[in-house]
Amino acid sequence: MNPIPISWCLGGAAAAALVGAWGGWTVRDWKRDSEVLAGIEKATELVNEQRATIDAAAQAYEQEREDARVQTNVRESTIREIYHDRPVPTDCAVGDDVRGVLNDAVRSANARAAGEPAPGLPSTAAGPGSADRP
């Protein structure tokens, strides 16, 4: 006869199946954790790429904003000079040099709105007496 009782054999087989199932479950859990980690790493890489793109766009915007601020300051000071040096005409018509400055401002704003580089600084108007002021 068999020296090991059948109940022990069945108990051992059940224990081996239980340990095998637990081991398989643990290995599958490890595999799933590594898949999740790979997904997180890929998402982090995409976020970093998008952050770099956004940072580059923000830097370009800040540079363009600074250029626009300089152009606006020059334009405003030019308009101030023009109106400071000249009396307002009785027909309230804008002078040619003022019209030129305003047209330069419109072209610059349209270029910036279209995403194109803005043209250079507007031409300054040389009104009467503007050259001999301190």
- All structural domains of the chain with their residue ranges: 11-113
Of 79 and 122, more confident? 79
**Structural contact between residues 64 and 118, judged by C-beta atoms closer than 8 angstroms:** yes
Q: Give per-residue pLDDT as tens, 10-65.
A: 999 999 999 999 999 999 999 999 999 999 999 999 999 999 999 999 999 999 88
Cα–Cα distance for residue pair 34/114, rounded to 1 Å: 46
CA separation, residue 87 to residues 19, 81, 91, 93, 124 (Å): 100, 11, 12, 12, 18
Q: Which residue in 71, 51, 78, 55 sits closest to 117, CA to CA?
A: 71
- Each as own residue / partner, the long-range contacts of residues 113-116 (CB below 8 Å, 24 or more positions apart, any chain) are none
Cα–Cα distance for residue pair 81/103, rounded to 1 Å: 17
**Structural contact between residues 100 and 73, judged by C-beta atoms closer than 8 angstroms:** no
Which tokens belong to 53?
């793109």
Band (117; pLDDT cuts 50, 70, 90) = confident
**Structural contact between residues 69 and 105, judged by C-beta atoms closer than 8 angstroms:** no
Residue type, 130: S
Band (88; pLDDT cuts 50, 70, 90) = low
Which tokens belong to 37?
């980690």
